[in-house]
Amino acid sequence: MKSFFPYDSVELSTNGREVVILDQTQLPTQEKFLHLTTAEQIFYSITRLKVRGAPAIGIAAAFGLAMCVNRFRTRSLQALEKEFLRVKHYLYISRPTAVNLMWALDRMERCFYATKQGLETADEKHAIEVIRNSLTAEARAIKTEDVKMCEVISEYGFSLLQPGCGILTHCNAGHLAVSKFGTALGPIYMAQQQGFSPRVFCDETRPLLQGARLTAYELTKAGIDVTLVCDNMAATLMAQGKVDFVFVGCDRVAANGDVANKIGTCGVAILAKYYKVPLYVFAPTSTVDLSCKSGDDIVIEERPAFEVTDMYYSKPMAPKGVKVYNPAFDITPAALIAGIVTEKGIIKPRDIKNLKKGK
């Protein structure tokens, strides 16, 4: 599958000492790349949504952990281990809902101790170098696997489409939210390359406007027919018969098939059910959390009030001091979902509990 973009949203420098991200808070007006060299910069970039999207967050965290180990100057394996765990636990709390973050960091920890165990008789200088190389390789493998997963997910999603079909999106689950291609937008890119000429209706996605700023930006740049709509226009589009599918990404899938995704997804799913429009959730298996029995067990991040009242406005759009409720995600019940598209196929929500995950 060909990418429409000459860059990835998250990169690790050749020497492993910098994490390079496209600052998504500057889009769509400016493509600005940030070179991050500390755990604090990684943490800030994740919490302030400079890098966002569940897979991209996981990749950024893995790269950040490898980068911090590579930059930490020590001759003591014990000191390196202490620093590794400090950074890992610090990044672990940067965002609570997207499970890819924890999945990637836990995988890096398993790599650390598996490598260390095989170096019990080595001198410390050699052991430190081997561990650094191993962690860098593991972080790069996480990204490489994500690219392959997105390609396979795109193929499964593409199999649902017909030429000229209308697709409604919510939030951003494209090139910017992963390492390459996208999850929910991947099939749309594939359809465009195959001459299907898909028509996309892009929810603006209040309050952070990921649809308006990011999805519309991506699709326009790729030459895809995209129409930006306000979130409250989705029902009208469906009533007019303009929407054949709803494609959304996901930040966590529970064992019963409930999903956490950007706030507003549940509302779109309710509308889609009423108008008999199938809604598909796109998620790599790294987003599936079988330890969560249902959506009730998923921690929903609440974000600052200014994102609703002030952000992206030239002046405040609400009375000063008004109370604001700003959950970043909502839970879409499994009963509203036609299928969950993973790299292992299109799975009925009720069957997600049987999914066997990789490492």
Residues 262, 260: Cα–Cα separation, whole Å: 7
The bridge status of strand 252-253 relative to strand 259-262 is: antiparallel
- φ and ψ of 129, to 5 deg: -65, -40
Respond yes or no: is residue 297 known to be catalytic: no
Q: What contacts 46, CB < 8 A, 6 or more positions away? A: 52, 57, 60, 61, 91, 94, 95, 101
The closest alpha carbon to 175, from 206, 220, 136, 108, belongs to 220
Structural contact between residues 210 and 134, judged by C-beta atoms closer than 8 angstroms: no
Residues in the chain: 359
Catalytic residue of the set 251, 258, 289, 330: 251
How many Å is the Cα radius of gyration of the chain?
Answer: 20
* Sign of the four-CA dihedral 237, 238, 241, 247: positive
- The residue type found at 107 is R
Residues noted as catalytic: 251
